[in-house]
Every structure is written in C-alpha cells, then in structure tokens.
C-alpha cells in the first residue's frame, strides 16, 4: 500500500480549485496557513472526527477521501473566498483596523458561504458587526467582575481543590508514546487517553518538586490560585502560579463573551480547571503535556526537537544574531505548550492525536522565535 504525504494530496487538490479560491491561497496558488488551520482542517476534512484523514502520510483510500472532500467543498470554498474578500473590503471602507482578518473572518466567511446566498455588502457588514461587537467582555470587565465577586470565586476554587485528588500517583512512562507521535503514529496516544495516563502524569505532579521540575510552578507543591487583582503580560508567573485573572485576561476579549452570566461561567470553568490534573480540562490535552515533557527529556522525539535547535544555531549565525539561547528552554517550552492548550480549551477547540505532535513542535518553534526576537531587540534591531 503506498502512502502519500497529506500535504501533497491537499496541495494538488487545492490547485484544481483554481482562481475562485485565490483569496484563500498564496502566490503559488497553495492554501494559506490559516486556510488549512481554520477552514480546511476543522470544517472540511475534520480529522478530529475522522482520524484516518489526519495522518501525515495517507493510505490510498484516505488520500482519495481527502480529495473527494475538498472537491465536494469547492463551491463552499469559492463562496468563502468571495465572502472573505467582501468582508475585507467592508473592513477597509469602515476603517476597522483591529484584529487580523484571516483569524477573525475565515470561519465566519465559511459559515456565511454555507448559510447565506450571494455575498452582499449588508450581510458582510452584519458579520463584521458581530465579529467586532463592542459589547463583548474585555479584560477590564473581567477585572471588575473578579473584584466584585472575589469571595464567591474563592469559594469555587476552594471547592474544586477540595474535591480534587491530590495523592501523588505513579508517573506513567510515556517516552515510547512521545517517540511514536514524533514519528507520525497515533495508536499509543489514543490508548493512553483511554487509560487516563495524561491525568496520572498530572497527578504525579503533586509530589514535592515535580511540578517545578516540569516548569509549571516556582513552588515546591502547587497551591490553589488566587482570584487576582492585577495582571500584566510582561510579569506572568509560571502557569500553576497564575491567578484566575492572569489565566484569562489576555484571551477574554477574543472569546466573544456577552453578558455577566457568561463571564461568570467562564470564571467558574477556569477555577475548576485549576484543580484538574495539569490544570487542564481535557484528557487529550493533559496527555499532550505529558508527551511534551517526555519528548523534552530525550529519546527519538527529543532528537527531533534537538534538530530544531541545531538548525536554529545555524540560522542565528547566518542572521548574524549573537548567541544561541537554549538555557531554560525546556521549561519555557512546557509553559508555552500549557498556555496554548489552555487557550484552546477556552476556545473549545477539541484536542486529538493528529495535532499532538504539531502542538509540541509548535511550542518549541514559538519559544525559538521569541528568543530570536529578543536577541534582535538586545542588539537594537527590532
């Protein structure tokens, strides 16, 4: 049985769609990064429901299914492109400058493509109003809300922590799982989700020093979070040491939350999340954390991440950019990974095995790029 890279199947089928999807394509006619991430994967191919379509290498049958699904969506995708173009043009006409159009409009445009008829200015304006709704809760609203309800929120936190299992359990060995993920396999991941190994690894963090070693806290043993009165992006503590405010303030305005009741539900969810293993709600996400930790410890998966750092050392010199900066990177990657997983939970993006490695590798890349930017800034070039 031959195996074809998923990226090849998508690229070749996308090129068949032609000019109608131009606004969703790059200069070579290939789909944009966010066309894949926000439209093709979650709305057309849906590997979360059809894991066989999420493999990096596809069997002939799966490749055919991917092609068919993209071809069948051709009309919707062309219409999405038209709506996206219309929304951008109305954005300019109305001098809206906040947010990134791809991030904000792609999924809305797809929704309009599936539900509305021809792209019209009025409908595009209504969509923009919805996306840019000023009635949404902001970080300031959140801070005010937490200040007014601190006692109640405190009680929710304490209740959640009181009911949580704090006994240190044995840390499962998932090095093999991490290696399999790095090699493109999902079977061990799916088995480990069923066995709850991500949760077990998370509970094992309550042993003295364990959560600190994982980069999650500066304390010996994690404690329940504060409600929080202040938060700043520049001084965020380690993930488990963040207050409820610090866990939510950067994301709240992009979540489209309307009204105090919804804000209250968001806060309660966060309080309960903080008492869960890895302080994450979904078993899949807990397992991604555990797999990330295993990968960062070495093995074949660690080798893949090491190779990234070695390429970075070369690029740093080629860019005449000072020293390599790998010190403390392991913990930094773990913190980045946690923040991304928590962010996905807030957005209700389901986790699945097909994305696990990309999340771990992506957190590593993100730390590398941030350190590159910081090096540039230190040299006075940013």
Partner 1 sequence: MIFGTDRPEPWLAAVFEGAGATLWWNASTGETGGEVWDVARASGWLVMPEFATDAPHPRSERTAFFARAAAFADWREAWWPASYVRGIAPLDPRALSAERAVALAALDGVTDDEDAPARALAGLARWTAELGMLDDTAVSAEAVFGEAGVAGADDLVRLADDYGVALVPAPVAAREDYALAAAGEAPAAALVGGSDPVDPGAVPPGTVDPFARIEWRVTATMALEATVAAAPVIGSAPAAPLTALVGPVEVPLGRTGGVWAGRVTGGAAILALAPEHRTARLMAQGFEPVAGVDPAVLARIAGSD
Least distance from partner 1 to the Cβ atom of residue 264, Å: 30
Least distance from partner 1 to the Cβ atom of residue 381, Å: 5
Residue 5: φ, ψ to 5°: -60, 135
Least distance from partner 1 to the Cβ atom of residue 321, Å: 7
Residue 57: φ, ψ to 5°: -115, 130
Nearer to partner 1, 166 or 308 (CB): 308
Q: Do 97 and 68 touch, CB atoms closer than 8 A?
A: no
Nearer to partner 1, 37 or 136 (CB): 37
Footprint of partner 1 (CB under 8 A)? 5-8, 10-11, 25-37, 56-57, 88, 91-92, 97-103, 184, 307, 311, 314-315, 317-324, 365, 369, 373, 375, 378-382
Nearer to partner 1, 114 or 319 (CB): 319
Nearer to partner 1, 147 or 315 (CB): 315
Least distance from partner 1 to the Cβ atom of residue 97, Å: 5
Nearer to partner 1, 100 or 115 (CB): 100
Nearer to partner 1, 91 or 335 (CB): 91
Nearer to partner 1, 114 or 311 (CB): 311
Least distance from partner 1 to the Cβ atom of residue 382, Å: 7
Q: Do 302 and 291 touch, CB atoms closer than 8 A?
A: no
Least distance from partner 1 to the Cβ atom of residue 7, Å: 3
Least distance from partner 1 to the Cβ atom of residue 210, Å: 32
| CA geometry: angle 375, 379, 382, nearest 5 deg | 75
Q: How far apart are CA 155 and CA 141, in angstroms?
A: 21
Radius of gyration over every alpha carbon of the chain, rounded to an integer in angstroms: 22
Q: How far apart are CA 211 and CA 323, in angstroms?
A: 29
């Amino acid at each position: 049985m031959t195996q074809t890279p998923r990226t090849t199947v998508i690229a070749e089928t996308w090129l068949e769609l032609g000019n109608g999807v131009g606004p969703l394509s790059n200069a070579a006619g290939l789909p944009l990064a966010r066309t894949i991430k926000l439209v093709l994967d979650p709305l057309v191919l849906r590997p979360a429901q059809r894991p066989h379509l999420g493999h990096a290498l596809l069997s002939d049958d799966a490749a055919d299914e991917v092609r068919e699904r993209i071809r069948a969506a051709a009309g919707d995708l062309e219409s999405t492109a038209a709506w996206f173009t219309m929304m951008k043009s109305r954005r300019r006409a109305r001098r809206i400058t906040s947010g990134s159009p791809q991030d904000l409009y792609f999924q809305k445009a797809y929704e309009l493509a599936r539900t509305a008829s021809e792209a019209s200015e009025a409908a595009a304006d209504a969509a923009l109003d919805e996306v840019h709704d000023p009635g949404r809760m902001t970080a300031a609203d959140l801070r005010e809300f937490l200040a007014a309800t601190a006692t109640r929120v405190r009680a929710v936190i304490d209740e959640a922590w009181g009911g949580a299992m704090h006994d240190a359990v044995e840390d499962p060995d998932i090095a093999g799982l991490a290696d399999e993920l790095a090699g493109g396999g999902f079977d061990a991941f799916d088995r480990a989700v069923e066995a709850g190994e991500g949760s077990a690894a998370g509970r094992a963090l309550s042993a003295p020093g364990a959560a600190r070693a994982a980069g999650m806290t500066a304390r010996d043993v994690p404690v329940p979070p504060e409600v929080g009165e202040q938060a700043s992006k520049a001084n965020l503590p380690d993930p488990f040491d963040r207050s409820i405010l610090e866990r939510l303030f950067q994301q709240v305005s992009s979540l489209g939350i309307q009204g105090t009741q919804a804000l209250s539900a968001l806060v309660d969810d966060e309080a309960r999340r903080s008492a869960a293993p890895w302080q994450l709600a979904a078993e899949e996400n807990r397992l991604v954390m555990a797999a990330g930790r295993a990968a960062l410890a070495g093995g074949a998966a660690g080798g893949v991440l090491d190779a990234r750092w070695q390429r970075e050392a070369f690029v740093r010199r080629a860019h005449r950019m000072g020293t390599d900066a790998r010190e403390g990177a392991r913990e930094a990657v773990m913190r980045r990974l946690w923040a991304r997983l928590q962010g996905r939970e807030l957005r209700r993006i389901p986790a699945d095995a097909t994305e696990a490695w990309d999340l771990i590798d992506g957190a590593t890349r993100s730390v590398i790029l941030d350190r590159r930017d910081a090096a540039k800034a230190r040299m006075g070039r940013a």
